Amino acid sequence: MRHKVAKKKMGRPAGHRGALEKNLAVSLIIHEKMETTLEKAKFVRPFVEKVITRAKKGFSSSDKVVVFNTVKELRKTIGNEEAVRKLMDNVAGRFEKRDGGYTRIIKTGNRDGDNANTARIELLPAERKEEAPKKVAVEKKAEKKKPAAKKTEKKEKKNDK
């Protein structure tokens, strides 16, 4: 029974599992999409969502101390300077108005070699600004009246008796 088991163990020791999580997260943040197994995609998704939420707090703050501490925390969590820079500059601003759900997992079938379920995990694009639909003056075409159908006369049959 899996009572109160918070995370999947992925069949790896704790150190390897943590390194896998960080490496997958860095790869996803830098490239914004990646192809991996479905289990690994599901494994890294909550970690990436929490990291992006943390980056948003630093991005939206005008206090330099908060920004500094956020960057410091992200460096400790992720361990990659390029990923932290991209998070703070691009990704956090993109998701500023969104409350969670920054990633999407798309199943891509099975891998040929070992028949493992594969999936593509990607960061969602920026939300589009909804524009009011442009009203186009529609010209009503004059309705053409069809001429009435001609009635065919029925020929009477003469019955010869």
Q: What is the CATH number of the domain that holds 102?
A: 3.90.1030.10
Cα distance between residue 78 and residue 70, in whole Å: 12
CA atoms within 13 A on the CB side of 114: 4
Cα–Cα–Cα angle for 19, 74, 119, nearest 5°? 50
Domain range for 65: 14-123
Query: Kindly report the CA angle at 138 between 133 and 143, in degrees rounded to 5?
Result: 150
Which pLDDT score is estimated for 158? 66
- For residue 138, is it within any domain? no
Do the strands 103-110 and 117-123 form a parallel or antiparallel pair, or are they unpaired?
Answer: antiparallel
Residue 129 domain flag: no
143 assigned to some structural domain: no
Q: How many domains, in total, are found in the chain?
A: 1
Assess if residue 4 is contained within a domain: no
CA distance 49 to 119: 17
Structure tokens at 51: 């990291």
Nearest to 40 by CA among 53, 12, 21, 14: 21
What does each of the 161 residues of the chain score in pLDDT, given as a tens digit?
Answer: 878 878 888 899 999 999 999 999 999 999 999 999 999 999 999 999 999 999 998 888 888 999 999 999 999 999 999 999 999 999 999 998 899 999 999 999 999 999 999 999 999 997 766 665 665 555 555 566 666 777 777 666 666 65
DSSP, collapsed to helix, strand or coil, labels residue 23 as helix
